[in-house]
A and B are shown apart, each in its own frame.
Chain A
Amino acid sequence: DIVMTQSPSSLAVSAGDKVTMSCKSSQSLLSSEYQGNYLSWFQQKPGQSPKLLISLASTRETGVPDRFIGSGSGTDFTLTISSVQAEDLAVYYCEQYYSYPTFGAGTKLELK
């Protein structure tokens, strides 16, 4: 199984901060067939199902604010929130789908 490692496990932020969180995979997620990295980012708030923010490492889903930016390739990936808003407080998960899906343990965004 591909192991996904997220860091940090939690982040204390203030509104307006720029936030960066990391996701590393135990093997490359770059597909030569589809010319993309098979990695998604999700946001999950308490009592809700995960919400897809970004797929293929950097493609923002329709309706997702442009302050959410996905980057990276191969085994190292980053989710950046350019200016955190109060509604962004949540747990963020990365997921690989290069092989049977596996998720990282999550990064919890908390209020400072």
Chain B
Amino acid sequence: QVQLKESGPGLVQPSQTLSLTCTVSGFSLTSNSVHWVRQPPGKGLEWVGAIWSGGSTDYNSALKSRLSISRDTSKSQVFLKMNSLQTEDTAIYFCRGWELGYFDYWGQGVMVTVSS
């Protein structure tokens, strides 16, 4: 069965770099894309970026200068790195396996708090 699980530090200091891992099972990273979506506490959903099945990436234009998404297909893992973190980056970060029209699975999310 398809599963995605996010992991990473719960607390990051301002101006530091966030590193998150999404470990997937039940599907191949070379067949389906993986997206990152975040949700500030009590607020709505914001698409962060994606790594496509072919390995190319796309990023939210508002975050692009601070963001990098990569993967290790042998470990079925996708990585998110975001630098220069600010308090407004405090959010639940979800990873999501997606393909148009037939594949849409979400992880449980990981809460990231940016605070000194």
A interface list, Cβ under 8 A from B: 1, 34, 36, 38, 40, 42, 49-52, 55-56, 59, 61, 93, 95, 97, 100-106
If A1-B61, A102-B47 touch, whether A49 touches B100 (CB-CB below 8 Å) is no
Chain B residues, Cβ within 8 Å of A59: 101
If A49-B107, A49-B108, A56-B101 touch, whether A100 touches B44 (CB-CB below 8 Å) is no
A38 CA to B99 CA, complexed, in Å: 12
Q: Which residue of B lies closest to A102 (CB)?
A: B47
Query: Are A55 and B47 in contact (CB-based, < 8 A)?
Result: no
Query: Are B94 and A49 in contact (CB-based, < 8 A)?
Result: yes
If A49-B106, A49-B109, A50-B106 touch, whether A104 touches B44 (CB-CB below 8 Å) is yes
Query: Are B58 and A100 in contact (CB-based, < 8 A)?
Result: yes
Query: Are B47 and A103 in contact (CB-based, < 8 A)?
Result: yes
A58 CA to B14 CA, complexed, in Å: 43
B115 interface residue (CB < 8 Å to A): no
Task: Write out, one digit per residue, whether chain B residues 74-116 have a CB within 8 A of any chain A CB (1) or not (0).
Answer: 0000000000000000000010000011001011110000000
Chain B residues, Cβ within 8 Å of A100: 47, 58, 60-61
A51 CA to B104 CA, complexed, in Å: 9
